[in-house]
Amino acid sequence: MTCFRLMFFTLALLPAFGLVGCSPAPESAVQADTPAEAKPEAKAPLLEVEPGQKVALVGGSLAVRMHLFGHFETHLQSRFPEKEILLRNFGWPTDEVGLRQRPDNYIELDNPYLVYGPDLVLCFFGFNESFAGPDGVESFKSDYHSFLEGMRVELEGNGQTPRFVLISPIAFEATDKPGLPSGTQENENLQLYMEATQAVAEAEKLPFVDLFTPTKGAFAEESGAQYTINRAHLNEAGDKLVGKLLDEELFGNSPAEANSERFEQLRQAVIDKGWHHQQDYRMVNGWYIYGGRNSPFGVVNFPAEYAKLRKMVAKRDQYIWDIAQGKEVADAVDDSDTGDLVEVRTTFGSKTYSEPQDLRYLTPEEALDAMTVAEGYEVKTFASEEMFPELANPVQMSFDNQGRLWVACMPTYPQWKPGNPKPADRLLILEDTDNDGVADELKVFADDLHLPTGFALWNGGVLVVNQPQLIFLKDTDGDDKADYREVMFDGFATEDTHHAIGAFEWTPGGDLIMLEGISLSTTIETPWGPFRNHNQSSAYLLDLETWQIRRYVAPCYANAWCFTHNEWGQPFVGDGTSAAQYWATPLVGKPFRERKGTDEFILYSGPRMRPALGNEFINSSHFPEEAQGNFLFACVINMNGILQFNVKQQKSGFLGVRVEDLVVSTDRNFRPGDPKIGPDGALYFIDWHNPLIGHMQYSQRDPNRDHRHGRVYQLKVKDKDLLDVVTQAEKSVPELLDQLAMKEPRTRVRVRRELRDRPKQEVKTALTAWLSAIGEEDKLRDQKLLEALWVQEGHRMVDLDLAKQVLQAEEPQARAAALIVLANEREYLPEAFESIKPLISDSHPLVRLQTLVALSYFPTTESVATAMEVLKYEMDDEIDYTLQSTLGALKPVWYDRVKQGESLVENFPEAEEYLIELTQGGDYGDKARSLLRKITNPKISSGGKVIAMNDMITLSGNPEAGKKVFTRACIACHMIGTEGAKFGPDLTEVGKRLTRGKIIESILEPSAELNPKYQTLSLFTADGLALTGLLVSESDDEIEILVGGKDVVKVPRDEIEIMEKVAVSSMPERLHETMSGEEFIDLLEFLSTLK
């Protein structure tokens, strides 16, 4: 692989509808020529195009979004119809000339860019680099020269003689919307990078197009967001403007009639071709196609799918040329002669630990009979595929302000197949019109989505995943069908489509939480600059007023699929893979790379119930008193049901003890998920309902993956009426505020969601009146005051006096919640720190812990000194963990000063000793993290890796701490003594079998050196039996394999038709990314002691 290939392909918020980015562009902007589009004086073309020219677009989102609207290519094809030009868009969000992050192993199968082999490359760089300001200009120019030279070498070596055109970034569009950058400083920087791009072009003697100057002028001619969604990224009107500007700058005055029927027909064909190309260049599920999990299944079918897809794109080239040349064309492209796909054989029957005995699907009535329901409760089928065929493969649900249930369904899962119709995943609205607990009506809000793993109702519409995008949909004419669509963000990771962002949940203050799994590459452009995440599982926090995105929970373990809050806003996150559930407050301080993990808050004996698909608290007047506050999570393999835990406060945190399971089924197709308390007080949950569960366990194209079944169930108390449904639609603001006194937190969430969509001043006025009526003796005073504070936070208008009242609440969890509100809103509350500071001495340990979390966001020595005050009070493990985490986040302001002998705390020797001890700890965590980066970096030489490995081996850790890491990260699959599971090798004496170096290698590269004893086998017998498991023994007569970690199956050799050894370990790759460096060494130390 050449140096350039590595360089090029590897890692070297929407405001209110009707304001920025959400209203459809005005008719004048879309249909008529704008002043900026007036015919300029004729100019000489910058370049000539040859017949059959192969054009490529590269760069960031300015290029990426062109495939959404297609105006530039439509102009190009209209201008040169007989030249039959090819164009492919290779843009990627956040790309810079010196930094182009890609998924791991991205070009392992092949390099789509070189397969295409462009000879004319249009380069769109400078936007992401501009956030480095004036200091980054010289580096930008140097990197641009290196980029061009590398690309020449690469393409010439591939047989092309490339030409390049350098194109500047566009301007920032000024609007009066608060929360977004003003554009003043941004435009100053963008002009510098436009000029730098021009300087590079002149030095390289290349054509240059200035888009900055004309777009700045056009943006200034009309106020508001006419051309962008967020001041920085183009909407359809903006793409129309820029597409024509670029065409005319390159080739002279445009002859195309942009509003003609033929132009629009051509544009739709261009958009269709662009979509199909993206399924090649940015194909989802890359981990299973070109990545570390492409064997044993992906290598079978995906090469043929790539070949077919590229032929389909080529057919669309011809279709575009025919339209451009005025020929009559069919309504759609005929793909019948683009090649056949490989027929994939099922491996159903090979995973007995998770599969039903046969492929029979129980009817909804039979499925109810297969359930064991906790005493006193009953389950009813709210909706099923028999009632509504559209309800297939439901994955998330949410109730709206009318009491209707919205469900995201993705029958396309695990991904679209070339040759099939375009994806038809959907958002459904289910309504029970007669309140009998059964849905009567179904409406399809959207049916053209691709893998909607998460959604959230917002702003009169819905935010929904459309992998790799997050889009906004809205119904503007009242027919409950989406007719407005805006791509808000593009670049969320898709290398594993069931680890992609999902399980959406609102914070109490109105930010959106989105969970994403491990071994993924996310690259998002925002008005504030590029946001990147690489191979670290995350809970993202999206501020929809400012369009800012950040990591929220850290660490987020392997694959978080569960997030909820208790009635006072305390957050709880669940790892889908292990089903471990965590109280997340200690994890939401300011993130830093070396933060360790914590212990889960739930407790139960026996086998671990996993994986988990959604969690919830029971807080509903419909449920009995003994169930109030109980915690639930849904389990889909080790048991098929919903577990229940009684939760109590314990010291500074919480403890959940398992009680009677709510639902358990003997039907292995039953895959419950996303439990939610509904507006009527009942518990609702979806059923994915599939005999094949798991992403890597079967081929993505296994014919027995089900795409037709799906259910929604309702669980209620027997012989007890449900609550009257309380709705928020069309209620006045005072009426909505009164609903904040209700017991049900899910109702209050919907109220706050509705109030965020109402005019700010109207809410402020009504809230002031509502607060004045809350008396000192009101039994719900703490709840009401806190809810009012959250309403204020949702509108970014927190009143410090109200916050101080909540800081004095009787309920400790209310005081804790107010602390995090002040930390969140600190930018416009200059007194926030002084209000937070005294709570470090609060009488309740939870409040002291929450104070530590809040202090992590104030990077001053005073914050450090305040945090150390917590040592004057009783400590527990959670407080000590949070103190160390806060000090880790604040390390830049105290570490070097303390190490040099400076005292940051007065008259408190214990605190001084604590800080000094942290500076003398040897920093083996930092050293380990640095060494891990070297060992796993493909650019480091083998010699350099050997040196790093030798240094890693010498580091010593804490075996007791390592045992905790093992329990958290490994015990779900490995045995030690009598504890754990047998899905992976028994590690009871691993320290005797393996050296420290080999243990490190086995964690970092689990598939590199598989012990034959633990290598997975797939067997296919002549009578159709398929088995997958670990080899136990083999002889001339038979094979014995361990299936599901417990069942040993003997198979006579003469009955085996195919036997394949799977070259991929079932252990997750990059598991070390879920640990801090210190935790990795502690785990190594613990495993080394197992002799």
- Residue-level pLDDT at 206: 98
Q: Is 602 helix (H, G, I), strand (E, B) or coil?
A: strand
Angle at 353 between CA 349 and CA 356, to 5 degrees: 55
Q: Is 705 helix (H, G, I), strand (E, B) or coil?
A: coil
Would the CA dihedral through 311, 316, 321, 325 be positive or negative?
positive
Q: Is 132 helix (H, G, I), strand (E, B) or coil?
A: helix
CA distances from 981 to 921, 971, 993 (A): 35, 7, 19
Q: For residue 1019, what are the contacts with CB-CB under 8 A and spacing of at least 6?
A: 350, 1025, 1026, 1027, 1028, 1039, 1041, 1051, 1056, 1058, 1059
561 within 8 A of 612, measured Cβ to Cβ: yes
Between CA 1074 and CA 929 the distance in angstroms is 12
Residues linked to residue 563 through DSSP beta bridges, in sequence order: 573
Low-confidence ranges of the chain (pLDDT < 70): 1-42, 921-923, 983, 1010-1015, 1023-1026, 1028, 1043-1046, 1062-1066, 1068-1069
- Tokens 């739930």 found at: 602
Tokens describing residue 919: 């500076």
- Residue-level pLDDT at 456: 99
Tell which residue, 40, 34, 17, 38, has the closest CA to residue 219: 34
Please state whether the peptide bond connecting residue 364 to the residue before it is cis, i.e. omega within 30 degrees of 0: no
Calculated CA dihedral for residues 751, 752, 754, 755, nearest 10 degrees: 120
| Residue 1037 burial (CB count, 10 A) | 9
Between CA 1091 and CA 1086 the distance in angstroms is 10
- Residue-level pLDDT at 1005: 82
Q: What's the start-to-end Cα distance of the chain, in Å?
A: 42
- Residue-level pLDDT at 956: 87
Between CA 60 and CA 307 the distance in angstroms is 27
Q: Write out the E strands in 480-595.
A: 484-490, 502-506, 512-516, 521-526, 529-534, 538-543, 548-553, 560-565, 571-575, 581-583
Between CA 499 and CA 502 the distance in angstroms is 8
Strands 163-167 and 120-124, how do they pair? parallel
Q: Write out the E strands in 708-858.
A: 711-717
Q: Is 67 helix (H, G, I), strand (E, B) or coil?
A: helix
549 within 8 A of 531, measured Cβ to Cβ: yes
Tokens describing residue 277: 């190309």
Calculated CA dihedral for residues 876, 881, 884, 885, nearest 10 degrees: -140
Tell which residue, 611, 616, 651, has the closest CA to residue 630: 616
Read off the amino acid at residue 244. K
Q: Is 551 helix (H, G, I), strand (E, B) or coil?
A: strand
- Residue-level pLDDT at 921: 64
Query: Is the full-model pTM beyond 0.85?
Result: yes
Question: Which DSSP state fits 1054?
Answer: G
Tell which residue, 552, 437, 469, has the closest CA to residue 505: 552
Q: How far is CA 810 from the centre of its chain?
A: 37
What's the pLDDT tens digit per position in 972-1031? Answer: 778 888 787 776 788 888 888 888 988 888 888 877 776 666 667 777 777 666 676 777
Strand order in the sheet with 377-384: 377-384, 711-717, 683-687, 672-677
Name all contacts of 776-784 with Cβ < 8 Å and 24+ positions apart. 780/741, 781/809, 782/806, 782/809, 782/810, 782/811, 782/814, 783/740, 783/741, 783/811, 783/814, 784/740, 784/741
Residues linked to residue 581 through DSSP beta bridges, in sequence order: 574
Burial of residue 729, with CB atoms counted within 10 A of its CB: 0-12 exposed, 13-18 middle, 19 or more buried: exposed
Q: For residue 337, what are the contacts with CB-CB under 8 A and spacing of at least 6?
A: none
What's the pLDDT tens digit per position in 630-651? Answer: 999 999 999 999 999 999 999 9
- Tokens 């092309």 found at: 160
**Domains of the chain, first to last:** 48-324 (3.40.50.1110), 364-717 (2.120.10.30), 798-917 (1.25.40), 925-1088 (2.30.30.100)
852 within 8 A of 882, measured Cβ to Cβ: yes
Q: Is 545 helix (H, G, I), strand (E, B) or coil?
A: coil
